[in-house]
Amino acid sequence: MAPAPDSGVLVLAATPLGDPRDASPRLRDLIATADVIAAEDTRRFRTLAHALGVTYTGKVVSHYDAVETARLPGLLTTVREGGTVLVVSDAGMPAVSDPGYRLVAAAAEEGLPVTCAPGPSAVTTALVLSGLPCERFCFDGFAPRRSAERRRWLESLHDERRAVVFFESPRRTADLLTDAVDVLGADRPAAVCRELTKTHEQVVRGTLGEVTQWATGTEVLGEVTVVLAGAEPGAAPPVESLVDAVRERTDDGERLKDAVAAVAEATGVAKRELYNAALAARDRAARD
């Protein structure tokens, strides 16, 4: 659908992750001239505008997950009538694990002009700081909160050859990494990046075992982005990740020894290691 001749424009603009000096001149101009500014957090937006020394005259409206759908009609009307709508998140690029994609999809469906003012991104910043091969990578948003879902998600990454980038809450970082060691093995290279571009920026690099030891021995604070190295071709899964498969077979009546043998043959792990891991898991379940 062709846009109306007098239609305005929807602009998604990246904001600094922490250091205001990363703001582009274009972002400053957009803040100063936009008719409507849709901000994930209006207070943070006003703090950013003050830090940049930019005076804005446009209407500032909240645009977080819970209100994104409700905001669509008004924001689209502004664009239809020739106005500029600027969308900003708290940090980084809107629509990347932040509000924005519904608005872009709706504007595109109507044929309204949509553009982007590129800039900072925690995803690419963490990748280049990780020290891991990142010619090919995938971004997986936020890690699942619950351990069972998180472990299933980690299992899906076992054979992923690309680097994997994802966000995590600082409160759950240690638990996430502990699960990752169990599912992916302690030797998989990884990096934990926190407070990127801020005063207390920190990048912890090493194996999953090493970064887990760091996370469990300290209080993790700030925004956290994790990078996992891609899997090596032909790598056997860690035995801990196969215990559930053994348990499913024993729950169906199969003897533990036979279940272990079948799973070990299918996956290439050592039977003795898998047997010991299954016994240990059964003992833990009995204690709990």
At 176 the pLDDT is 97
Residue indicated by tokens 């008004």: 74
Query: Could you read off the pLDDT of 17-64 as tens digits, one per residue?
Result: 999 999 999 999 999 999 999 999 999 999 999 999 999 999 999 999
87-95 average pLDDT score? 95
Residues with Cβ within 8 Å of residue 33, at least 6 apart in sequence: 58, 84
Residue 152, both tokens: 């299933």
**Cβ count within 10 A of residue 23:** 21
Q: Residue 250 pLDDT > 80, yes or no?
A: yes
How would CATH label the architecture of 123-228? Answer: 2-Layer Sandwich (3.30)
Domain 9-120 shares a fold with domain 123-228: no
Q: Which two tokens stand for residue 30?
A: 């957009």
Under CATH, what is the fold of the domain 9-120? Cobalt-precorrin-4 Transmethylase; domain 1 (3.40.1010)
Alpha helices in 34-67 (DSSP H): 42-52
CA distance linking residue 140 with residue 126, whole number of Å = 13
| Cα separations in angstroms, 37 against 25, 27, 75, 240 | 17, 12, 9, 49
**What is the DSSP code (8-state) at residue 171?**
G
For position 243, what pLDDT does the model report? 86
> What's the rounded mean pLDDT across residues 129-154?
94
pLDDT at 282: 82
pLDDT at 3 over 60: no
To 5 degrees, how large is the angle CA 6–CA 7–CA 8? 120
pLDDT digits (tens, 9 = 90+) for 166-180: 999 999 999 999 999
Task: Spell out the residues 6+ positions from residue 119 whose beta carbon is closer than 8 angstroms to its own.
Answer: 13, 14, 15, 16, 22, 23, 24, 27, 93
What is the average pLDDT score of the chain?
Answer: 92
Which element (helix H / strand E) includes 274? helix 271-287
Q: State the pLDDT at residue 202.
A: 97
Under DSSP, the state recorded for 1 is: -
4 vs 80: CA distance, rounded Å: 7
- Look at phi and psi of residue 95 and say left if phi exceeds 0, alpha if psi is from -120 to 50, else beta: left
- How far, in Å, are 29, 72, 82, 108, 209 from residue 76 at the CA level? 21, 6, 10, 10, 49
CB 19 within 8 A of CB 41: no
Pairing mode, strands 224-228 and 163-168: antiparallel
Q: Torsion over CA of 137, 143, 147 and 151, rounded to 10 degrees?
A: -20
> Of the ranges 7-16, 92-101, 208-217, 231-240, which one carries the lowest mean pLDDT score?
231-240
Q: Across residues 128-153, what is the average pLDDT?
A: 94
Residue 86 to residue 69: CA distance in whole angstroms: 16
CB 224 within 8 A of CB 123: no
Domain boundaries in the chain?
9-120, 123-228, 239-287
pTM assigned to the model? 0.78
